[in-house]
Chain A
C-alpha cells in the first residue's frame, strides 16, 4: 500500500516547501526542515543516519503528543455523554410527569445549553488529535522515502505544475486511512453482530447494542466494557472476537458467520482510534458541501465533475477525454428518450461547431415527448405496473390510464414532490382533479387474487403490506418489511413503527378477493379528454329529452291527478285503518292518537321502548297487518323517528290475538313474511320478525325523512268469528338508543293477494354427462319432457334427489364436469302474481316455469349473483320451476334467488307511493307516478321513449368505452389497525394509529395523519432519505450503478456511497431547485463526467472494473425495452404513438396457454396477437402478463413486475443471442432495415449500403476493416440466395409486414443477413 504513496508524498513534500518555517528544537522538525534534510541527503547521502535519527526523534515526540491528547478527548467525550444521558433522562421524565414539566424543562434546557460548549471542546480536541495523526503519516512517509533513496538517490522529481491539487490530495489519503464507523465498521457489526446486539429488542443479548446508545461503553452485567475508547486491549469486544476458546468467541459458531482477520484488524483499529459510533449516514440530513477544488479545474463543466475528479485525483486516476460526438449523441439520445438518434440528428450535431451544440441537443431531447416515456419506463419497474392481476388465474386489469399519467407527468416536468404527493394521496387533496385521482393508482398496482377458496382478509393484509414495502423502498430506500414480524434487525424500525406506517394504507375500501372481471374496487371511470367531451354532449341530449318527457301537460296532468286519487282510494280501501282501544309505552313516553288515527309519540324518549297497541275488530280472514311510520313536524328533523338523527329501529313486531269471548286468552299469531317500501342496508324488514332483539328494521333516517310502510303477512288467515282482540308490540330494543318510532298507524286487510309465496326445496338430477358443453345444452334429456319426481334415468343411474343443501342466494357447487344437471322445485302462490328471479350459473342455463321457457342462455362464464334476471307469471296454487345448468368444463355451479314479486296491475312500489298522501311524496316518487301514468295515457310517450332509449344507448356506448382505473380511497370510518403477531392476518395484537418514522424526520407542522400527511412528510426537505434515494436512482440510469450501489437499500445493510459528498450535494440541489426533475437530468447529462469516452484500458479495468469511480464513460447493454425499440427504430418499423391500452406484438405461440387456468370466462388466458401498427409500438406498451411476461423482455432481464424492482440485473446469456438472431420481430426488423438500405442508398455499391445501415444502428461510419468483413459476407450470402431463391423468399416472409416486391429477393435476403448482423452487434445493443 505504501508504494503507491511515494510519488504523491514526494510531490506533496516539494509542494510544501513554500510554507513558513516552524521553530523550536524541542519540537519535532518542521516540514521545511525535512525538506532541507532531503536536500542535504541528495548532496550528501552518508548523512542518512543523522537524518533518520532526527525524523525518528521527531516522530517519537509527536506520538507522545498524540498520547497526551487522548485523555482530554476521552474526558470531553465522557462529559458529552454524561450531558446527553442526563438530557435524555430528563426528556423521558418530561413525557411521564406532566406536573413537573416546567421545572424539568428548565433543567433540560440548562443541560442542553451546556452541551454545545462541551461539544466544541470535544471537536477541538479531536481536531488537534487528527492534526497530529496526519503528521505521523507524513513523517512515516518521509522515513520511507528516505529508505528508497538509498544507496544512490534519484534526483528529486520535477515539481508538477499543479501543486495545489497535490496538496489537496494529501488529506484525502489520510481520510481514507482513518477508520470511519459508518463506512468501515457498521457493515461488519451489522452483518455479524447486530442480529443480537442491534435494534431488535426481543433478540438483544447481554443488553448490548452496537448501533447506538451507551451500552457498549458502560459496564456490562459481567462488569466488563465492550469498548474502551482508545484501548483495544481492555475492550471486551476485541477479546471476544479474537478468543481462542470457541465458547467465548463472537460471533457464536451457531450464528454461522466468522470474522476475517482484516475485519478484526479494522475493529481493533477503530477502537484504538476512539471507537465512537455515529448515526447511520443515510438517517442524518445531507450535509451541504462546496464542490472540491480540483487540479484540472477546466475539465469540470459543473460541480458534479469536481466531486468526481477530486476522487479520481485521490486515487491517482484521470478522467477520459470527451466521447466522440457520434457516440455522445447516441448515448444521450438513448438515455433521455430510449430511442436512437436519427442520422440527420447525428449529422447536425457533428457539424454543429458552436460551444453549446451539445446542450442544444440535450434541451431538444428533454422537450421530446419520448423523454416522458423513457422516464416513465423506469418508474413502471418500481411501481410493479402490469396488465394482469398476478395471482392464480392472473386475468387482465386496466391500469394504462395511470401509466399514461406518469408519462404526462414527466413530460410536463411535474416537480418530484408533487409527483409524490399525487401518487400517494392525490385523492385526499382538496377537490382532487381526475388526474390527481388517477395518480393514486400507484398504490393499487400490487397483485390481487381471485382464487376460489382464499380467505379474503389474508390477502387484503398482503396488499396493505405490499403498499408499505413498495412506498418505503421507492421513496426511502428502506426495507421496512422485516418489521412486519419482528423489530428490524438492522435499521431502527420497530414492529410498532411498521404497523403505524401500515395504518396509513389500511382503510382502503377494497376486497381481499377481487379482480375477476378486470379492475378491482375501488376504481373509477377515467375518461380521456375527447371521451369526456362526447359524454357531456350525450348527457345534455338525454337531459333535454327527459325535460321534454317531463314537461307539464295540462290535460294529461289533470287526468293523472284524478287517476291518483281514485287509485289511492282503491288501494287504501283494501286496508281498514284501526282505532286502538289502548296504546301504552313501556318506557314512559306519551302516546297520543291523532285525527287520522295515527299515534304521535311525545314526552320522554327512553333508550329502549315497547309500544303495546291493543285493538278490537270484527274482521275475520285477516291476511296482513300494515304498519305506517309517518313523519311529523314535531319530530327531530321532521322525520318519522325520535332519534336525534330522525332514524328509528323496530327490533320486533309481535302480534297476539284473543277471541272477544275469551279476552284473557291471547295466543301468539305467527307472521309469515314482512315487506316494506324501504329498508336500510343491514336493517331489512325481515329482521323485525326474526325473534332476535338485537336486529331490526330501520330506514336511513339521517338522509331520508320520509314516510314508510311495512306489511306483515299472517301465516294463516286470522280473526275469530264473533270478534277478536289484537295486541301488537312494536319494540325498540336495539343498541341504538332512543331509536323509537315517532308517529305510526296500524291497518288490517283481508285481501287474499297479500299472502306470501312458499318455495319448495330443490330436487337435483344429474349430471347427464356429454362429450361437450354444446351437446349437453342442446340435448333435451328426459326431465325436460316432464318432471316425475319418482322416475329414474340413464339406466337407473340418475334420479331426483331432494337436496336441502342447495340454498337460495348463495353459490352452490354441482357435481360433474362436462354435463347437464336439472334442478326442480315447486312454488305455492296464494294468488296469481308476477315474480322475478335472479340467476347465476357456471356455465349455460335454461329455466322453465310451468313448462314455459323463461330463460335460454347458452353461455360460458364464471358464476356471479343475478347474472340473469327472469320474470314469470305464477298461477294461484302450485307452480313448477325447472332449471337446467350445463357445464362446459372446470367449475360447475348455480345460484338462485327471488328478487321481486308483484300482485295485481299496479306494481307494489307504485302502490306504496299511492298510499302516501300527496304532499308526503318525494320528487322521486312523484316521478315514478308520472312515468307510470304517462306511459299508459299519453300518446306521444312511446315515440319519446324510443328516442330517449336511443340517446341513452348512445350515452351507454360512449360510457362503456371509457376506461376504468384503480385508485386509492378511504373508508368513511377508518379500519382499525392492529399489530399482527408474527405478521399474521389472523393474530391481531395491540391497536395502533397512523404515524410516520419520526426517528428519521419529524412530521411537518399541520400535516394531517393521513396518506396526505405521510406524503408531505416524505417530501419535506428535512427528510434525510427521499431526495438521496431519488437522485441516486436517476444517477443509476445514466451510469449503470447508483452512487449507492444498493439503490433499493439505504439502510444500515446498504452499501456505502462511492461519492458521499456528491450524493448529498445532488440531493440538496434537487430540493433547492424545487425538485425540478428535468433540471436534474440536464445537470447530470451535461456534466463532463457523463460526457467522457467509454473507452477503457486494461489497467483501468483492473483497478475499477465496475467503473464506480467514473474515470471513463459508462458502457453497458441496453435495457430489454431499448433493445427492441432500437431495432424497430433503426429499421423504420417503429410506431411511436404515445399511450393507450397495452398491445400484443409477436410472441411464440402457446406460452400463455401452457400456464393458464384456461377458463374462457377469465381474460388474459389465451394470447391473441395484435396486427398492424400494434406490432411495432414501443415496448413499454407491450401487454405485461405477470405470469407470462413478454419473453423477449424477460430474456433481457426485465422483471416480472410482481413486486417493486429498483434495480434490474444485467446478464449476458445465450438466450439473448437466440432472441436477437431468431425472434421474428428482430428478423422482420432486419428485413425492413435491408429494404431501407436498398431504397435509400443508390444502387451499385453494397459497401455504401452496408455503411448506411451500420450508421443507422451505431451512429458512426464503420471503418474499412469492418466494412470489408460485412461486404465479404454480403457477397457470399448473395451467392447463396441467388442459388436458392426459395430460401430467400422464406427468409423474407418472416413478419406481418410484406416484403417490398420491387426489390430482388436474393439481394434483399443477402442484405437482410447483413442487417441482422448489424442488429446483433455488441455495439448496437450497447450504450457506450
Chain B
C-alpha cells in the first residue's frame, strides 16, 4: 500500500508498535506492570519482518575478531613449497598484477618468507595448525577451517569496515546491528548486540578500531553494538552516582513513574509509557550487569581452562569467558575485538605473543560451550580483516621477517551453530597467494552467517534513500560446504 494516507499507513504498522494495546485502557498500576516486560533495546520485537525466515541452526553468534590481519602462513595455511623456496623471489606469475599497499608496492624484490613455525595436521579433515596455536589444534574436531577467505580491500580501515558492514566505505549498518534489527532481542535486561574490546600485549602494533564497525549505520540507533567495557563502568553510566543507594534510586524511579503517568493522562502520548518502561529496564540492567561481569561464581576448572590471563579484566581470555556468560543470558551477537596482528616486521616474535593471548581462550570458549550443550546453537567465528603476504616486507631472515597485508586469500574458522564440525573448506595455491578452490568471499561468509541464524540474506533489507539495503549489498552466496 502506498503511504499517501497516514491513517492507512498506520493501520498497517499498528501490529508493530501496538499502540492500541498500550493506550486503550489507560495505565493503572496493574497495566503498567505488564508494560514493563517487552524487549527494551529493540523496538522490533522478536519475529518482526517475518523473521527468522526459516528454522535457525544458531541462536547466537560469538565473533572473535582478530584485528590487524593474522598471518595465515604462520597459523593455518601450511605450504611446503613456501618453506622450501624461502628467500627466493616470488614468481611474478603468482603475484599477477594485483594491487599492493603502498608500503611494499615500491619494493624491488618480493622474496618468499617461509614460516619459522612447525605445522601438524589435526582432526578428521587433516587441517593444519602451526605450533603457536596448539589449543586450537586440540579442538580441530569442532572447527570448520576456511583457508580461502577473500576480500578486495588491502588496508585496515576499508577491510575491517568491509567484513563487518559489507561495504568498504563508512555508512552501512554492522552485521550485529542487522541481526538486532532483524531478530530482536532474546533477553530482557541486556542489549542484543554486545561488543568487547580486549587489551592485548601493549608492545605490538595495534590498529585503531572504528566504532562504525559495530554501528547502526542508517538503522535506528538502538541497534548499534553496546560496548561492555573492562575498565570503568561496564556499560556507560550503569552505576548510580556516589551517595545514591538502591533505595534512593528505587524511590526516584517510582516517583518518576507516577509523575510521568500523570503526564500521560494529560497528553496520551505513548512515548511516555515507553519511557517509563525504559527507566525500569535501566534499573534491571543495573543489577544484571554487575552480576554478568562478576566471575566469582565460575568454578576453578572453568577459570583454569581459559588460562591465567582470564583473571586480568579486559584480557582476551576474560572476554572469551564473558562472551560465554553473555551467550548464556541470551545475547544475540557478541563481537570481541582483539588487536595486534599487524606484523609488518618482527612477525615471528609478535605472532607468538598474540597466539599466547588468544590460542588457549579461543579453544576454551568452544570447549566450554560444548560441555554446556550450547555449542550446537552458538556459532563461534575466529578471524580478521585479511591475511598477510607470502613475500617478506623489508629484509627476510629465517628467524625474523615481516609480511604486508594480503586480501586475496586468508584463513578463518567457525565452530558450532550449524557450521561443519571438523570441516576444511577451500584451497589456496602453492604460495597461499591466490584462492585455488572454493573461495569464501566476505559477502559469502556473511550470507552464510545469516543463513545459520535463520535469515535469508536477500530478504533482510532496510529501505533507505530509496533503496533496499542488505548486509551483503548485492552480492553473497550461502556456501553449503560450510554447513553441517
Using a CB–CB distance below 8 Å, which chain A residues touch chain B? 176, 180, 183-184, 187-188, 256, 260, 262-263, 266, 315, 390-394, 447, 449, 451-456, 462, 473, 479, 481-482, 489-491, 803, 805, 810, 813-818, 889-892, 986, 1045-1046, 1048-1049, 1051-1056, 1058, 1094-1098, 1101-1106, 1108-1109, 1115-1117, 1148-1151, 1154-1158, 1187-1189, 1191, 1194-1195, 1197, 1200, 1202-1203, 1209, 1211-1219, 1221-1224, 1227, 1263, 1265-1266, 1269-1270, 1272-1273, 1276-1277, 1280, 1286-1294, 1309, 1313, 1316-1317, 1320-1323, 1326, 1328
Contact = CB atoms under 8 A, between A and B. Distances in A.
A1216 B101 CA distance: 42
A392 B101 CA distance: 15
Contact of A394 (B208, B245, B278): B208
Contact of B215 (A1095, A1200, A1280): A1200
B345 A816 contact: yes
Contacts of B268: 1095-1098, 1101
B89 interface: no
Contacts of A1187: 208-212
Main secondary structure of the interface of B (DSSP, over half): loop
Contacts of B171: 1202-1203
Contacts of B102: 452-456
A184 B2 contact: yes
A320 to B, nearest CB: 11
Contacts of B238: 1218, 1222
A1055 B3 contact: yes
Given A1103-B10, A1269-B255, A453 B101 contact: yes
Contacts of A1116: 271
Given A1211-B221, A1211-B222, A1317-B256, A184 B243 contact: no
A453 B43 contact: no
Interface of B: 1-7, 9-10, 17, 19-20, 23-24, 40-41, 43, 99, 101-103, 106, 108, 154-157, 169-171, 197, 203-212, 215-216, 220-222, 224, 226-227, 229, 231-233, 235-245, 247-249, 251-252, 255-256, 258-260, 262-263, 266-272, 274-276, 278-279, 281-282, 285-286, 344-346, 350, 393-395, 400, 402, 404-405, 458-459, 463, 465-467
Contacts of B7: 315, 1103-1104, 1109
A582 B216 CA distance: 80
Nearest to B255: A1273
B4 A1095 contact: no
A1277 B346 contact: no
B237 A1223 contact: yes
A1056 B4 contact: yes
Contacts of B267: 1094-1096, 1115, 1328
A1154 B252 CA distance: 33
Contacts of B262: 1263, 1265-1266
A1212 B10 contact: no
Contacts of B467: 479, 482, 489, 1053
Contact of B20 (A176, A1055, A1102): A1102
B252 A1313 contact: yes
A1104 to B, nearest CB: 5
A184 B350 CA distance: 62
A1215 B203 CA distance: 34
16 contacts: A176-B5, A183-B2, A449-B157, A452-B101, A453-B404, A1101-B268, A1148-B233, A1151-B229, A1151-B236, A1211-B222, A1214-B285, A1219-B237, A1273-B251, A1291-B243, A1294-B241, A1317-B256
Nearest to A453: B101
Contacts of A266: 2
A490 B229 contact: no
A268 to B, nearest CB: 15
A451 B157 contact: yes
A1270 B255 contact: yes
A1279 B80 CA distance: 78
A879 to B, nearest CB: 27
A1115 B242 CA distance: 34
A1219 B236 contact: yes
A180 B199 CA distance: 60
B256 A805 contact: no
Contact of A1148 (B154, B209, B232): B232
Which 5 A-B residue pairings sit nearest by Cβ, starting from the closest?
Answer: A1053-B466, A1291-B243, A453-B101, A1108-B6, A1290-B243
A1212 B6 contact: no
Q: Which of A180, A1289, A1291 is packed against the most chain B CB atoms within 10 Å? A: A1291
Q: Identify which of A814, A1094, A1154, A1269 gathers the most chain B CB atoms within 10 Å of its CB.
A: A1154
Nearest to B43: A1211
A1277 B346 CA distance: 61
Contacts of A1049: 465-466
Given A813-B345, A1200-B212, A1280-B248, A1294 B6 contact: no
B466 A1150 contact: no
A633 B270 CA distance: 89
A1211 to B, nearest CB: 4
A1054 B466 CA distance: 6
Contact of B241 (A454, A803, A1222): A1222
Contact of B281 (A805, A1203, A1217): A1217
Nearest to A1098: B23
Of A394, A810, A815, A1104, most buried by chain B (CB within 10 Å of CB) is A815
B20 A392 contact: no
Contacts of A1270: 255, 259
B466 A1148 contact: no
Contacts of B1: 260, 262-263
Contacts of B240: 1221-1222
A1025 B251 CA distance: 53
Contacts of B43: 1211-1212
A1222 B466 contact: no
Contacts of B169: 462
Contact of B231 (A481, A889, A1149): A1149
Contacts of A188: 2
Contacts of A491: 466
A1195 B204 CA distance: 32
B203 A1056 contact: no
Contact of A1215 (B226, B241, B393, B466): B226
Nearest to A810: B106
Contact of A1211 (B220, B232, B285, B466): B220
Contacts of A473: 465
A691 to B, nearest CB: 21
A1117 B267 CA distance: 14
Contact of B221 (A315, A1197, A1222, A1313): A1197
B278 A1217 contact: yes
B84 to A, nearest CB: 24
B404 to A, nearest CB: 8
Nearest to A489: B467
A1286 B242 CA distance: 10
B155 A1101 contact: no
Given A1200-B212, A1214-B278, A889 B6 contact: no
Nearest to B7: A1103
A1287 B243 contact: yes
A817 B2 CA distance: 62
Contacts of A817: 203-205, 345-346, 350
B237 A1155 contact: no
A818 B203 contact: yes
B208 A1323 contact: no
Given A263-B1, A1187-B212, A1287 B271 contact: no
Given A482-B467, A1108-B9, 15 more contacts: A180-B4, A452-B103, A810-B106, A813-B344, A814-B345, A817-B205, A1104-B10, A1148-B232, A1149-B232, A1187-B208, A1200-B211, A1223-B237, A1294-B241, A1317-B252, A1321-B259
A1095 B266 contact: yes
Nearest to B459: A256
